[in-house]
Amino acid sequence: MPIDPFTEQRRQMVEQQIRARGIRNERVLAAMEKVPRHVFVPEDARRMAYDDRPLPIGDGQTISQPYIVALMTDLLDPHIGDRILEIGAGSGYQAAILAELASEVITIERIPAVAARARRNLSAAGSRPADVIVADGTLGYPQKAPYQGILVTAGTPDVPPPLIGQLADGGRLVAPVGPHGIQELVRIVREGERIRRESHGGVVFVPLIGEHGWREDEE
């Protein structure tokens, strides 16, 4: 574990916000305790980095509440050996958590300035490698498909079909699905040709904008 001025705050975040709400996956809890979340938030918000809330990261985007990052990671259930695709790099924090748990992480971001900042944050945090790619993530990233896990971290009217197509057999996809303002956390599991879909409660995310998401003028 890195020793930094926030080590104790991070431990409390894991115990009081995440474990106390029922997340028992020790690998996820260890990753959340290890990755220095404060490095991924703007300098002037660092003292709030471990608070129980999302935070603005610039360009109208947000870093998710710690519990939601843990919940989505738990639902995705990444393992060593897995290749994981994230849609919506944002600060790069979720990608850093995934990189602790999987073998390969690719994260897509549509705003070039946000992607550049995610790369800087990942490197400043000394994170395990994650590829940050500027593109429309609603198309997925066919070059490296299939994926054992796909995590969408922006709200989408429905799960973009190309993402389901890029899911490996046994692969999991987690996405906030629904209208602006409130979405349902959906998990899709591919079992051969069968697609199983479950619901995991309400969440609030910024919109996924792209060919299979919202149109920019619907924002």
136: its two tokens: 């429309």
Which of 108, 132, 150, 203 contacts ligand SAH by CB under 6 A? 108
> Distance between CA 146 and CA 148 in Å, rounded?
7
Residue 105 in the binding site for ligand SAH (CB under 6 A): no
Which of 50, 93, 141, 147 contacts ligand SAH by CB under 6 A? 93
Contacts of 189 (CB under 8 A, 6+ apart): 170, 171, 172, 173, 195, 196, 198
103 is catalytic: no
What is the bridge-based pairing of β-strands 167-177 and 104-109? unpaired
Residue 111 in the binding site for ligand SAH (CB under 6 A): yes
Virtual torsion, Cα 31, 165, 185, 91, nearest 10 deg: 50
Residue 155 in the binding site for ligand SAH (CB under 6 A): no
What is the bridge-based pairing of β-strands 104-109 and 131-134? parallel
Q: Least distance in Å: CB of 9 to ligand SAH? A: 18
Radius of gyration of the chain (CA): 16
Residue 36 in the binding site for ligand SAH (CB under 6 A): no
Residue 127 in the binding site for ligand SAH (CB under 6 A): no
Residue 64 in the binding site for ligand SAH (CB under 6 A): yes
Q: How many helices (H) and strands (E) does the chain have?
A: 6, 9
Which of 36, 137, 176, 178 contacts ligand SAH by CB under 6 A? 137
Residue nearer to ligand SAH on the CB measure, 17 or 138: 138
Q: Least distance in Å: CB of 192 to ligand SAH? A: 28
Contacts of 203 (CB under 8 A, 6+ apart): 68, 155, 176, 182, 183, 184, 185
| Total number of residues that touch ligand SAH (CB under 6 A) | 25
Residue 50 in the binding site for ligand SAH (CB under 6 A): no
Virtual torsion, Cα 155, 158, 159, 162, nearest 10 deg: -120
Which of 77, 82, 100, 109 contacts ligand SAH by CB under 6 A? 109
Residue 210 in the binding site for ligand SAH (CB under 6 A): yes
Under the rule (CB under 6 A), what is the footprint of ligand SAH?
A: 61-64, 87-88, 90-91, 93-94, 108-111, 114, 136-138, 153-154, 206, 208-210, 213
Annotated catalytic residues are 64
